[in-house]
Each structure stands twice: as structure tokens, then as C-alpha cells.
Chains A and B, each alone.
Chain A
Amino acid sequence: MAHFALSPRRFGYRFNVVGMIGFAIILFWALIAIFGPFLTPYPIGEIVDFDYFGAMSSKFWMGTDYLGRDMFSRILMGARYTVGISLAAVMISCVTGVVLGMSAAVIGGWFDTALSRFLDALNSIPSKLFGLVVVAAIGSSIPVLIFTLAVIYTPGCYRFARALAVNINTMDFVTVARARGERIGYLICSEIFPNIVGPVLADFGLRFVFIVLLLSGLSFLGLGVQPPNADWGALVRENIGGLPFGAPAVMFPSLAIASLTISVNLLIDNLPQKIRDRSVV
């Protein structure tokens, strides 16, 4: 356990090193996503090297891709698409899923049955196929991508939240609140939500990773972010031919995806915890 000078221990919280590392990496990528365009050494669409799959050099920090474009610039710009689209989609799907899931658990009856069957039906459509159809029909743009990804991941989130909420719903304190005459809104916000927020956040992290991966998949099929822009997944796919040569062009976007997804999970599993033992402060 860490005893940093900046340790939140002073504020009554405990935050371990693993969680801090995860947080630092996420913060790093978030900053890149925001300030990326100011940092790129070369325009992302421009072929700057005569060699393709170029090695790392002082000129091209992360080598060049299959057309001889600068990888470093492309990854900086890719962060914006990967982090932005995934984050927006996971937000929408988690908020919708959790709210609907808690409502279904509390209201029960036909509302629960109807909603559950509808979302089960949605869940039964293969996610890539669904994305393919929607994007092919409407055309690819960032709002469409975000919306499609959100719809694909809402049923899972709903199922998860509903299962948790059903358990909480049978506890005596909820019964007490019902007997007091509380409305559904209060039951959801005040009695149920605070008790499922931990697992819901863990699910949020996992779902974020899934969305990053699905977005990469869609980009590979040509339905994601459109060239010359590219998210990290698309970068891996377009440079996959460099794998036999050990080209940095395929390694670095993979590392970027791995570092982001792993650190999200590390942070979620090691969120700062309130210290309950008050005798030492």
C-alpha cells in the first residue's frame, strides 16, 4: 500500500498503487485525445517516408505505416476517436441500461417482462452484424457509430443492473421504504442505486473495453472511422501486413489499445475506498 505525499489517505480515502497507475494512464490518454492535434509532427494523411513499415527513428518515433505515413501522428489522432467514441457509447449504454434495469426490478410485473423480452430480442442479434446493417444503411458518421455501439451494449448492461437490483429490491430496507409509501423514483435513486454502484462501475470498465474492440472491428470492415482518419483498431488492421516484419506500425497501436483497456480495468477494480475505521485519522 502506498504512502504518497499526495495520498488521499489524508482525506479519509485509501487508494492503492495499482489504482493510481491505472488512473495515471487513463489521464495520459485523455490529455492526448484533447491536445493530440497540437502535438502531431506530421499531417496524418501525408506520406512522409519513401519506405513502408519503416523502423523507429529520430524522425519517425514510432516508425511509418504501410503507406509510409508517420505512425506517431496517427496514434495521437487515433486516441481522439477511440477514447471519444467509446466513452460516449459506453456512457449512453450504461446510463440507459442501469436506469431501465433498476426500474424493471422495482416496478416488476408486466413492465419488467415486456422490457426484458424486448431487450433480450435485441441481444439476440449478433453485434457485428447489427453494426454492419445500421452503418451500411445510414452511412458512417461519428454520431451513428456512437449510437450503434450504445444500442448494441445496452441490453447487456440492462441485464446486469437488473440482476443486481432484483437482489437489493428484496432487502428489508426497500420493504421499509415501500411501507413508508415512497415513490419509485426515490426507491431507485436513493435505496437501490448506491448499493449497486460498485459492480456497475466494474461493468462499465469491462463494457468500455468491449466497445473499443468492437469499434476496431467495425473500422476493419471499413464501417468505422473513415480514412484518412483512423482509430487504433483501424491502425492495427491496416498495418497487420507488417506483423511478419515486426513493424512498429502494428505494435504501437496494439500497445495503445492494451494500455488503455487494461488501465481502465485496473482503475475500476482499485477505486479509492473510504476508510471505515475512523479511529485513525
Chain B
Amino acid sequence: MANLVEIRDLKVEAKTDSGRTVEIIRGVSFDIAEGEIVALIGESGSGKTTIALTLMGYARAGCRISKGSVLFADKDMAAISEKSRASMRGTKVAYVPQSAAAAFNPAQTIMEQVIEVARIHKLMPMDEARVRAVDLFRALALPNPDTIGSRYPHQVSGGQLQRLSAAMALIGNPKLVIFDEPTTALDVTTQIEVLRAFKSVMKKKGIGGVYVSHDLAVVAQIADRILVLKNGEVQEIGTTAQILSAPKHPYTRELLGAFKPASYASHVKAADASSKVPILEVHDVVAGYGPLKSNGQPTILALKSVNLKLEQGRNLGIIGESGCGKSTLARVIAGILPPFSGSVCFDGKELSADARGRTRDELRKLQIVFQFADTALNPAKSISDIVGRPLAFYHGMGGGDREARIDQLLDMVHLPRALKHRQPSELSGGQKQRVNLARALAAEPQLILCDEITSALDTVVAAAIIDLLKELQRELGLSYVFISHDLSVVQAICDEIAVMYAGEKVAQMPPSAMGSQDSHPYSRLLFSSVPKLDPAWLDSLERDPELVRAFSKL
């Protein structure tokens, strides 16, 4: 088979604000055969998206392709004029972005946007394009393919929108489609439908693809070959089966290793713990958002009577898909969102509903760490200011004591002390999340609420954070409430797992019981939807259609 794409010794460099050039991609070479799907995998910053974008002859602002060639259908995308590149984009090579929600214009109907490529390139009459779009909707297994095009982007779900953006890419009949983490923002239950749709369309039409992802299990389902990247260099290229079963490069092995975290139980056994007063108890909490109704209840209820209990030194996992109310629960416990009814008890004492009504000591013992490390750190302050503030606030520390304690805390989360004077934007994602943890630890808490703290991180980095949490628990006797949509992460650290669905806790069980037949149907569905490192998993997966219909938002 002829090669559709030949990349030879590709180098991309960027200029920093001091005028220094940095090489982002350092001599990458690979081929894509016609109809083949190649996955680019690696941690964030490894250059996967940068490489994918060069296939369209595009480098992001401040970057440029400095060396090498990107031969696409015998044209060097790096060398041809911008005008001829533009004529190829959408017709020969198309792009499916990570966040479909951000890629659609909310003011136009979906159909208008899907057929836009055909209009810009004058590929076919508009009526024909509409017929083609409906065919694509059908091929991508979208519900109501004949009418979905007349809706607006906010009227369809996230999974549907992602498939619609694939339809947008496919309308120009491209030879190559670039998927940039298309399922990363989706729930596992939705992800399966989207992956299936992508796979069947690509195979049927014989389109080549580049699939950018950091999730090895997802890539295993769809790719023919896998390219493992790190720091802009290819670590290993191989067929999917070879990479998964016989990885040669140590970094690939590390990636695979991070995917299977060892299960874990805290050193405090259930029997010891039950005799003491539970550290956290949540009784019949009802909470929500929006204007209050006449009975004082908020219009949108995010939590409908949730009960939880957590013993000292143990960990509770809360899982469920987005919108099930897990984060709202964390906010209620932290006193950020006062509940409509119900109570939160800490160490046997009822806490005030609003953080403003809690004593400083109560606030200190309960800390919260958020998902997005970038937004949880004030970009205008230095790391030592950020970590030092709780020290001054709760413990009244100042001067040398505080500096010494900041050093200790940075050691504790395995960060070099030299980072003290940097600002958050100068740190990597994993480092930021460590700073977040250090800030929570500075308060010397008893309980840390972890709201999706590993979700925005790469697999290897996330595994390291989980290890850190375990280590800190052993040393400091902390308890965690661990909120996540990622089952494997929760399994790795929790003694108990609570499954939430639509604002209610539907089940609570130890991790070993997850997925067993007698568990709640939703937890069964959730468990079966987590991708496995087996290329045949998606094709062999059979889900109870009744179950899918009952719990899916599709």
C-alpha cells in the first residue's frame, strides 16, 4: 500500500518571550499508509498535537516548522503556499478537535456548520451536501439523523456533538482525519458509542487517521499502529498488539505500568474504625442551583438526599459521570454551597452550612483540592506565597518559620525548593497539582476532599500523584474523599466506593465488589464501560441495551 503521509526528520521550534528558541519537535519521522489509523500517544507537552497539526501544514502561533518535510499525497505541507494549504484543509485533510462544544458556533444550526466545508470549497451543491451530511449522521449512529441537523449545538449532548464534529470533518471526503483527543472530555459510557461510531466510519470509507490521545486503552481500540512520544521525540513505533504486549522502550513500559495501578487499602481496618466517631458524616443533603422556588428549594436539584459516612484514616471514593452531583457534594461539604436541607458532621460535630459560619479550626481540618490545578492557583502569585498563605492564616506563622515550613511542605510533595519563587504558569500540570496538595497540607488537615485531582493529568503523572497521596496518608494519618469519574483511579486508593447517579447515591461497596453481578445496574454499566488494554475489547463488548438506554444520556 502506498504511503499517504511521509514525515521525515520533522522539527518544530518555538520562540520564548526572551527570544530564545526551543525545539518542540526534534526530528520525528513516520509514515501513514492509506486507510491506516496511527495513534500518537504521550504525556502533555510531548508534542503530539503539534505533530498532528503539521499534517495540515499548520504550526501554532509562535511556532514554526524549522526543518524536515511533511509529505502528504506527494505535496510537502511544510513548503507549499498558504493558499494551497488552505485548499487542502477540509478536503484532503480534516481535523476533529478535543472540545467539540467549543468548536461549534452556538448561533448557527448544526447543519449549517457541518456543510460549511462544502460551501467554502465549493465541492457540491448545498442540497447534495445536506443529503451527504444526513448519510454521515446515520453512519455515525446519531439519533434522528434526518432532523438532528436543524438543532443548535446546545440542544445535543456532548457525545453527539463530538460525533457531529466528526461529520463536519468527513463531509469534504478527506483522505486523512486528525482526531485530537476527541473522547477525553466524555464520560466512559458515552465514550464507547463515540469510539464505535468513529471506528466503523473510518473502516467503511477507508480513511486514514491520526488519533492523538494520552489514554492507551482508548487508543488500543481504534489504532492500527501506535507512536509513543516523549519530549518531541519518538520513543517507539509499533503495531498496537506489539506495543501493548511486548513494549521495547522503558517509557512505553512505564506508560503501561501506570495504567494498572495496584489496588490499595488504607492501614486502618474497618473493624478498628467503626468503634470511633466517624470523621465525616453527611445526612440527607439536598442542594442545588438556580433561583429559589416558593418552598425555598433551588430550581435545579443537583443532590437529592445524599448520605455518606467516612471513618478516620480511611478513604472514600465517589464516582459517577459528569453532572451526577459529585462536585456539588464536595462543595456542600466544604461549605462553599450551603445545602437546602441536611447536615454535614465533622468529627461528630455538626458544621455550619456556610463556610463563613465555621470556626477557623473547623475550616483548617477540612481542605479541598480541585481538578484544574491551573485555575486553582492564583496566576499572579509565587508558589511560596500560595503555599505560605494557609500557614499565616491558620497558624499565624511568619518570617523564617514560614519559609522553613514551606521548604518542608515542598519536600513532602516531592517538589524542588527552587520552585518557590516561580509563578504557577511556569510549572507543569503535575507540579501544579502538587502545589495544590502542598497548600492543603499546609493547613494540617484531617480530611482532604480531592475533586477529580488526577483527571486533568497524564497517566504516568496521575499515578505518581496517587502514590504521593498514599505516602502522605501513611505519614500523616489523613483521610481522603476522592471524587472522580475514572474508576481505575478510585480503585487504586479507596477503601469504599460510592456510586452516584443523577444526584443520588445508588450504591456503596468496597472496590473488590465493583462490577459483580449483584451490584447496582448502573455501577455494573459504569464498570463494564471502562476501556481495557485489549485491542479486541471494544468489538467484543456487549452491553445490555436496556441498561444503556436506562442510564445513558444519549
Contacts and interface: CB of A to CB of B under 8 A. Distances in A.
Interface of A: 1, 14, 171-173, 175-176, 178-182, 190-191, 194-195, 197, 273, 275-280
A181 B368 contact: no
B359 to A, nearest CB: 9
A280 B20 contact: yes
9 contacts: A171-B376, A175-B370, A176-B368, A182-B393, A191-B378, A195-B380, A197-B380, A278-B426, A280-B20
B443 interface: yes
A179 B379 contact: no
B492 interface: no
B16 interface: yes
Given A175-B370, A176-B368, A179-B363, A273 B381 contact: no
Contacts of B425: 276
Nearest to A171: B375
B246 interface: no
Given A176-B370, A180-B393, A181-B358, A276 B17 contact: yes
Interface of B: 16-20, 334-336, 355-356, 358, 360, 363, 367-368, 370, 372, 375-381, 389-390, 393-394, 422-423, 425-426, 439, 443
Given A195-B380, A275-B17, A280-B20, A180 B375 contact: no
Contacts of A275: 17-18
B17 A178 contact: no
Contacts of A276: 16-17, 423, 425-426
Nearest to B335: A179
A178 to B, nearest CB: 6
Contacts of B393: 180-182
A172 B360 contact: no
A260 to B, nearest CB: 30
Given A173-B375, A173-B378, A180-B389, 15 more contacts: A1-B19, A171-B376, A172-B375, A172-B376, A173-B376, A175-B336, A176-B376, A178-B336, A179-B334, A180-B394, A181-B356, A182-B393, A195-B378, A277-B20, A278-B426
A169 to B, nearest CB: 12
B326 to A, nearest CB: 16
Contacts of B360: 181
Contacts of B390: 180
Given A173-B377, A191-B378, A195-B380, A180 B18 contact: no
Contacts of B426: 276, 278
- B18, B334, B368 pick with most chain A CB within 10 angstroms: B18
Contacts of A195: 378-380
A190 B390 CA distance: 13
A181 B355 contact: yes
A179 B355 contact: yes
Given A194-B381, A276-B423, A280-B18, A172 B443 contact: no
A180 B130 CA distance: 54
Contacts of B439: 176
A231 B355 CA distance: 54
Contacts of B17: 14, 273, 275-277
A263 B7 CA distance: 49
Contacts of A197: 380
A179 B375 contact: no
B391 to A, nearest CB: 11
Contacts of B368: 176, 179
Contacts of A279: 20
A268 to B, nearest CB: 18
Nearest to A194: B380
- A171, A179, A182 pick with most chain B CB within 10 angstroms: A179
A170 B16 CA distance: 30
Contacts of B20: 277, 279-280
Nearest to A170: B375
A278 B422 CA distance: 10
B18 A14 contact: yes
B378 to A, nearest CB: 5
A21 B269 CA distance: 71
Contacts of A172: 370, 372, 375-376
B363 A277 contact: no
A279 B393 CA distance: 34
Contacts of A178: 336, 355
B117 to A, nearest CB: 34
Contacts of B335: 179
B390 to A, nearest CB: 6
A4 to B, nearest CB: 15
A275 B425 CA distance: 13
A278 to B, nearest CB: 8
Contacts of B18: 14, 275, 277, 280
Contact of A179 (B336, B372, B394): B336
